[in-house]
């Protein structure tokens, strides 16, 4: 059974940083592209970033370029998202995705 | 990276059929056969119900079907049931290995 378990969310002040983690199991992690998707409270889904199997190709939505960094550790079956220079509008539930499977999400709240 | 366009809401009675549209551009929906649809119930993670325009993952009811014409994809739900009431999102592969989602459609079963 595929499991994706996010952690690392929390309350942070504007301009602060957080590191989200996603522990993957139930599949060969190193063989798949991985993705982060977020959902602001009461809003729709927004693709944030993805990267390829060995982490050499990374892509970001324009609104997070230069502030967020996606990475992975295939030896630890883990995906990460480093969030820097956080803005109030980054407040959202962040989901780890290996299509078609999604984690349960971790909530990031940025206060002003 | 503009969001795909979906109607904000649709409704139907039990047993009826409804269709949700998802309009993009030639750079996303119209340019690739990688359109997916997700169902999301309140407080839950999204669930994939259609991939690659019209493929149903194992375990998804055959009441759900997908199609595409030009820059517009569509999700049809036939034989509406109360448990179908949820938010539905389309998603497409876009240029530069990115994804783009629709704004979401709230389905109400009357």
By the 8 A CB rule, do A19 and A82 touch?
A: yes
Please tell me the predicted confidence (pLDDT) of residue B63.
Answer: 97
Mean of pLDDT over chain A: 97
Q: Do A99 and B51 lie within an 8 Å CB cutoff?
A: yes
Please tell me the predicted confidence (pLDDT) of residue B2.
Answer: 81
pLDDT by residue (tens digit) across A49-86? 999 999 999 999 999 999 999 999 999 999 999 999 99
The closest alpha carbon to B81, from B2, B16, B9, B5, belongs to B16
Report how far residue A97's alpha carbon sits from residue A31's, in angstroms, rounded to the nearest whole number: 14
| B30, burial (CB in 10 Å: exposed 0-12, middle 13-18, buried 19+) | middle
Q: Which of A37, A44, A62 sits opposite B1 (nearest CB)?
A: A62
Q: How many CB pairs under 8 A join A and B?
A: 47
Report how far residue A100's alpha carbon sits from residue A41's, in angstroms, rounded to the nearest whole number: 23
Q: Do B103 and A35 lie within an 8 Å CB cutoff?
A: no
Report how far residue A14's alpha carbon sits from residue A36's, in angstroms, rounded to the nearest whole number: 21
Percent of chain A beyond pLDDT 90? 98
pLDDT band (50, 70, 90) for residue B96: confident
Please tell me the predicted confidence (pLDDT) of residue B61.
Answer: 95
């Amino acid at each position: 059974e595929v499991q994706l378990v996010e952690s690392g969310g929390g309350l942070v002040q504007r301009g602060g940083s957080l590191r989200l983690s996603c522990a993957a199991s139930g599949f060969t992690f190193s063989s798949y592209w991985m993705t982060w998707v977020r959902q602001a409270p009461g809003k729709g889904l927004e693709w944030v970033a993805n990267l390829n199997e060995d982490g050499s190709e990374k892509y970001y939505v324009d609104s997070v370029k230069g502030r967020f960094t996606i990475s992975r550790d295939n030896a630890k079956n883990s995906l990460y998202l480093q969030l820097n220079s956080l803005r109030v509008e980054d407040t959202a539930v962040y989901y780890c995705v290996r299509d078609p499977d999604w984690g349960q999400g971790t909530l990031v709240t940025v206060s002003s | 990276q503009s969001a795909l366009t979906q109607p904000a809401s649709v409704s139907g009675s039990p047993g009826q059929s409804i269709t949700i549209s998802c309009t993009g551009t030639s750079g996303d929906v119209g340019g690739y056969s990688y359109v997916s649809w997700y169902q999301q119930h309140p407080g839950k993670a999204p669930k994939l119900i259609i991939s690659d325009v019209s493929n149903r993952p194992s375990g998804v009811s055959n009441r759900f079907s997908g199609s595409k014409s030009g820059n517009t994809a569509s999700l049809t739900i036939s034989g509406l049931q109360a448990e179908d009431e949820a938010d539905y999102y389309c998603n497409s592969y876009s240029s530069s290995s990115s994804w783009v989602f629709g704004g979401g459609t709230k389905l109400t079963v009357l």
